Amino acid sequence: MENKILIKHKVSNSIISLKRKIEILEKENRMLKKDMGLKGDTKEHISVLDNIPLELINLDINGNFMFSNAFFYSLFDLEPGFLDNKTNIVGFSPLWGTNLFEHINSLIKFQKSFDCEVKLKYTGSDRIYKARGLSIKNKDDVIQSFLIIIGDITQRKKAENQLIHEKERAEESDRLKTAFIANISHEIRTPINHIMGFLELLSMDDLDYETRNEYRGIIHSSSQSLLNSIENIIDIARIKTGQVQLKSSLTDVNELLDSIEESAKEIVKKNNKQSLRIIKSIPPNSEGFTINIDSKRLKQILKNLVENAIKFTYKGSVDFGYKASLDGNLYFYVKDTGIGINKEDFQTIFDSFRQIDYRTTRVVEGSGIGLAISQGLAELMDAKLEIRSVVDKGSVFSLHFRKIKCNFNQRDKGSFPKEIFDAGF
């Protein structure tokens, strides 16, 4: 019994001793916290806020500056400490005229928090910032001050815009490729159907010689059309991947224009436009004028331009030729009195797989890559393909070789005939 009482007494003493130690520790802890609070003054807090990569403003309930961090001063190119508690946000001119200024006023007057985007100048250039305004309340839910946080989101917005742009380009590319597949499948199926149909007709025994020759001509023409479509597809793919190699040789320009004229006559016949006048224009005294160039690719460009002009011209003429520019450089041109092109479509027509109108029922046939091929080849040949046009009046395509000089003598050398290059456009 005595042992139990003794043990109980010892335990009680131990508990009392332990409680005292806890009280001492708690007291020391409170004193330490108090001491740390006194020593950890606002300088350390300000140092932390200055290194946060955001512009921070703390305003009192009247809109006077209580605190602004280093990033805020840097944004407006101000010296640290320039603002004090006597400076009101209303008098802070760098924000005048911005939607941020209006939002801050609304925050102060009506305690209306905000989250907005604003354009501000930083080191002379406009940048985009995300700004938020908040009311700071005490434990009794009474507003004591306002906090405005500003963060630079210029790069993020650029990235977002780039993503949107790339998305639109991808969607446009898909749309163009879909249109191209529809067009090119028609361009390929039509001659194949002609070839197969007329081959079947040729197998008939009761055909006379003239009819057989007519059918053979149609088969040959359809085969050539099919081959041209396939070559165009291959060419645009090779141009896009940089696989086209130019093969320059001494070329008689007038002979090249003669071959373009023969091609134009065939295109007129194929499109049943015999009423169109085809005009070949060459400068006087240009006999024997030669240039060092890839004649096959130059002919391809000019033939594409002439074919387009014939397809989109229903009355009047298609005129093609060459001249010297004001500084003596070589210009080829193709002028028509066709339907013309809107100015906003000048770049569009040179896009791959595109025609200005993709209606299911098209008046004009074609895959929509002829001009894209021509522009790609022109760039490879260090030439510039340009257009002038007015709707319902006509168009002029010019191919400018800035490094090829004209060595022939012409009476009006150094000027373009107005009816060719100006034409009221």
Q: What is the mean pLDDT of residues 90-105?
A: 91
Q: What would the pLDDT profile of 316-366 be if each residue is shown by its tens digit?
A: 999 999 998 888 899 999 999 999 998 888 877 877 655 554 344 444 555
The proportion of the chain whose per-residue pLDDT surpasses 70, expressed as a percent, equals 80
How does 204-219 read in b/e, with b if 16+ C-beta sit within 10 Å? eeeeeeeeeeebeebb
Q: What is the mean pLDDT of residues 177-205?
A: 83
Residue with the bigger pLDDT between 241 and 21: it is: 241
Residue 6 pLDDT: 52
Tokens describing residue 106:
């609304």
Q: Is 395 left (phi over 0), alpha (psi -120 to 50) or beta?
A: beta
The Cα-based distances of 136 to 89, 102, 106, 296 in angstroms read 17, 19, 15, 77
Residue 366: closest CA among 246, 218, 239, 186:
186
Sketch out the chain's domains with CATH numbers. Answer: 42-152 (3.30.450.20), 159-222 (no CATH), 244-421 (3.30.565.10)
Token pair 């092109």 in the structure block, residue: 341
> DSSP 3-state assignment of 402?
strand
Residue 62 pLDDT: 93
Instruction: Work out the pLDDT band at 221, boundaries 50, 70, 90.
Output: confident
Residue 247 pLDDT: 93
Handedness of CA 356, 361, 363, 367 (dihedral sign): positive
Instruction: Work out the pLDDT band at 381, boundaries 50, 70, 90.
Output: very high
Residue 271 pLDDT: 86
Residue 49 reports pLDDT greater than 80: no
> DSSP 3-state assignment of 335?
strand
Q: How much is the pTM?
A: 0.56
119 within 8 A of 126, measured Cβ to Cβ: yes
Residue 253 pLDDT: 95
What DSSP line would sit under 250-319, residue for residue? EEEHHHHHHHHHHHHHHHHHHTT-TTSEEEEE--TT-TT-EEEE-HHHHHHHHHHHHHHHHHT--SSEEE
Residue 400 reports pLDDT greater than 90: yes
Radius of gyration of the chain (CA): 41
Residue 19 pLDDT: 57
Instruction: Work out the pLDDT band at 12, boundaries 50, 70, 90.
Output: low
Q: What share of the chain is helix, strand, coil (3-state, %, to 5)?
A: 50, 20, 30
Angle between the N-to-C axes of helices 295-311 and 253-270, in degrees from 0 to 180, rounded to the nearest 10: 30
CA 351-355-281 angle, 5° bins: 85
Instruction: Work out the pLDDT band at 45, boundaries 50, 70, 90.
Output: low
Instruction: Work out the pLDDT band at 84, boundaries 50, 70, 90.
Output: confident
Average pLDDT value over all residues in the chain: 82
Residue 168 reports pLDDT greater than 70: yes
